[in-house]
Amino acid sequence: MLLLVVAPVLVATPCFAWRYRYGGSARYTPKWSFSWPLEAAIWGIPLAIVVVLAVWLWQSTHALDPYAPLPATGPPVRIEVVGYDWKWLFIYPDLGVASMGEMALPAGRPISLELTSDTVVESLLIPTLGSQIYAMPGRITRLHLEAYGPGLFQGQNQQFNGDGYYQQHFLARALTPAGFDAWIAHARSKGMPLSAAAYRAIEQRTTLVDARKALGLPRGIRGAVYFSAVPSGLFARIVRSFHDDSTDNPAAH
């Protein structure tokens, strides 16, 4: 529909310029400068299109509102996302585990994300799954996603936050229900406890690779980090720490 406005310009601009070129034989009316029908068309057509598009925009904005829960039969999987410089922490509050560098989600089930940042503004996007949203210190934003089938997707920070910005990637793993349960079980059994000391290592301005080193894990280019024994209420305490400045280490409670 937009092409109704754009295409005539693309075609007519070179055509008019050539047809009415200097030295050509086309009619020349140097004083002609107004026509009501033409005016009506060049105001009316774009306006009509914008009205139609506005309706579409209103509907799609509400339909695809990242805050709106997705239609589903069962309860969504809740994930709390915390942005650090220069990595993401994914907390599964109902399952007691967390991860960095990797976000697992069961395909076919809606995911409900809550996001915040423990540093500057960041922005989470998994291009294949869509819908980017800011993660901001002291504030919570929401996002609902669903992967229709299993797969591996690249996820990243989209809001520049310093030297390690371009390395702030993660892998979104859409898994079968069984695969997802296995992933959780793996995190629970093999993950390190998210202690106050571990938290201190996470919140440094480091890339994931350096954070792994600080956590005493072997080097791995994109190796994920799994945490078990995630203190309950951690996410809320991280958010609150920006409002109540006595909170020193949100994981130390």
Partner 1 sequence: MTILHLLFGRLSVEALPFWEMLHYPSRQNVVNGAIATAAGAVVLGGAGLAVLLITRYRKWRVLWSDWLTSVDHKRIGIMYIVLAFVMLARGLIEANIMRGQMAFALDGGFLSADHFEQFFTTHGTIMIFFMAMPFLTGLINFVMPLQIGARDVAFPVMNSISLGLTAAGAALVMISLDIGKFSTGGWSGYPPYTESAFNPGVGVDYWIWAVSLSSLGSMMTGINFAVTIYKKRAPGMRFMRMPLFTWTALATSILMIFAMPALTVATGLLALDRYLGFHFFTDHFGGNFMNYVNLFWVFGHPEVYILILPAFGVYSEVFSTFSGKTLYGYTSLVLATMAIGVLSFTVWLHHFFTMGQSADINAVFGIATMLIGVPTGVKVYDWLWTMFRGRVRFTVPLVYGLAFSMLFVIGGLTGILLANPSIDYQVHNTQFLIAHFHNMLVPGTLFGLLAGYHMWFPKAFGFRLDERWGMFSALCFIFGFILAFFPLYGLGLLGYPRRTLDFFDPVYLPYMVAAFAGALVILAGLAGLVVQLLVSILHKEELAVPAGDPWDGRSLEWGLPAPPPEYNFSMLPEVSSRDAFTRAKEEGTAYRAPAQFHDIEMPKNSAMGMIVCVGGFLAAFGLVWYIWWLVVAASLAMAAAMVGWGFTRHTERIIPAHEVELAHLRWLAVVAVTQPVSRGEEASPSNAGLAVLETGE
Site for partner 1 in 137-176 (CB under 8 A): 137-139, 141-142, 154, 156-167
Cβ-proximal residues to 234 (8 Å cutoff; 6+ apart), any chain: 80, 91, 194, 250, 251
State which residue, 127 or 233, has the beta carbon closest to partner 1. 127
State which residue, 23 or 149, has the beta carbon closest to partner 1. 23
Residue from 77, 111, 113, 136 touching partner 1 (CB under 8 A): that is: 136
For the stretch 51-82, what's the b/e string if a residue is b when 16 or more beta carbons lie within 10 angstroms of its beta carbon? eeeeeeeeeeeeeeeeeeeeeeeeebbebbbb
State the residue for tokens 């500057």: 120
Q: What string marks each residue from 95 to 124 as x (binds partner 1 by CB under 8 A) or -?
A: ------------------------xxx-x-
Q: What angle do CA 46, 48, 49 make, to 5 degrees?
A: 65
Residue from 112, 134, 179, 186 touching partner 1 (CB under 8 A): that is: 134
Residue from 42, 70, 185, 197 touching partner 1 (CB under 8 A): that is: 42
Window 181-200: residues binding partner 1 (CB under 8 A): none
Window 51-70: residues binding partner 1 (CB under 8 A): 53-54, 56-58, 60-68
State which residue, 195 or 241, has the beta carbon closest to partner 1. 241
State which residue, 97 or 224, has the beta carbon closest to partner 1. 224
Cβ-proximal residues to 80 (8 Å cutoff; 6+ apart), any chain: 90, 91, 92, 93, 113, 114, 115, 116, 234, 235
State which residue, 24 or 193, has the beta carbon closest to partner 1. 24
- The β-bridge relationship of strands 141-145 and 111-117 is antiparallel
